[in-house]
Amino acid sequence: MSVPSPLPDLLIRPLIDLALAEDLGRAGDITAQACIDADVRLSVVWAARQEGRIAGLSCARLSLAALDSTASFEVLTQDGADAAPGAVLARAEGNARAVLAAERTGLNLLGKLSGIATLTRAYVRLVEGTGAVIVDTRKTTPGLRALEKYAVRCGGGVNHRFGLDDAILIKDNHVAACGGVGEAVRRARAFAGHLVKVEVEVDGLDQLEDALKHRPDVVMLDNFSLEDLKTAVALAKGRAVLEASGGVNLTTVRAIAEAGVDVISVGALTHSALVMDIGLDAV
């Protein structure tokens, strides 16, 4: 896989500042202040405690840099690469108090993002050869969407829309308020600019046929059975990108992909990924 371009530091720094402020509280790291002289230096490594796909090393780097601008930081395992247990991901040297105060913020984000990348990698591997693409959703941690979607890219997945303003996605409640699938797509088509995609969610084959009459770019097939997914693919005949959603897990995703859909959206990538175990150790 190609390694995704790293996020610009300016997008990450505000999140780091908030996290450090939460951790440092009103008086800073009083443990380090009590136990360590102010001018002591410390060399450390970030190491994987389990196998996984890495994402988020910039979070560790920027956490340390926020507290010690003179600290060195060297990446040894790039984001988007796989790490075996014990693999050294990065090494740093800096003021000991700063290193220890920054430790938890960096590890929290690095472990979370690497967990997302690792879970995404598992889904992507399961659909290899089918032509289906694994994408994320907006079911992200508030404030961390850019980071979590970056982690999905590190795992080999593709991003769905980033927010409410970059594509039209008509869901069941929009349909209920509007009066029908076809009418909702018709209105969306009339509203959208030439660069805005229109996607509509349907929960049955009857709604699919109604939606296709109005030329949506994408149709989301919500909780369709495998047989209905295959029928939907035959009905659409390439007139719209078909996205399967709902009921997707590591056990079902291969069969869903083999039904012939183009895209499979998986909320679990960002809302249910386990944190990867990564530690920081003095050397």
Asked if residue 53 lies in contact with residue 118, where contact means CB atoms within 8 angstroms, the answer is yes
d(CA 203, CA 208): 8
**What tokens appear for 273 in the block?**
């990924």
Secondary structure of residue 93 in the 3-state scheme: strand
Residue 87 corresponds to which tokens in the numbers above? 């693999």
Q: Are 252 and 122 in contact (CB under 8 A)?
A: no
- Residues acting as catalytic residues: 104, 139, 171, 201, 222
Q: Tell me the pTM.
A: 0.96
Q: How far apart are CA 244 and CA 254, in angstroms?
A: 12
Give the contacts of 262 (CB within 8 A, at least 6 positions apart). Answer: 131, 132, 133, 241, 242, 243
Please state whether beta strands 41-48 and 278-282 pair in parallel, antiparallel, or not at all (unpaired).
antiparallel
Tell me the pLDDT tens digit for each residue of 4-30: 889 999 999 999 999 999 999 999 999
Provide the residue-wise pLDDT of the chain in tens; the chain has 283 residues.
677 889 999 999 999 999 999 999 999 999 999 999 999 999 999 999 999 999 999 999 999 999 999 999 999 999 999 999 999 999 999 999 999 999 999 999 999 999 999 999 999 999 999 999 999 999 999 999 999 999 999 999 999 999 999 999 999 999 999 999 999 999 999 999 999 999 999 999 999 999 999 999 999 999 999 999 999 999 999 999 999 999 899 999 999 999 999 999 999 999 999 999 999 999 9
- Tell me the three state secondary structure of residue 147: helix
What is the C-alpha to C-alpha distance for residues 275 and 110, in angstroms, rounded to an integer? Answer: 9
At residue 278's C-alpha, the angle toward residues 274 and 283, to 5°, is: 175
The two structure tokens encoding residue 215: 């030329």
For the segment 58-105, what is each residue's pLDDT rounded down to a tens digit?
Answer: 999 999 999 999 999 999 999 999 999 999 999 999 999 999 999 999
What would you report as the CA-atom Rg of the chain, rounded to the nearest whole angstrom?
23
d(CA 57, CA 131): 31
What would the two tokens of residue 85 be? 């247990």
Dist. CA 140–CA 150, nearest whole Å? 12
Domains located in the chain, CATH noted: 9-124+273-282 (3.90.1170.20), 127-271 (3.20.20.70)
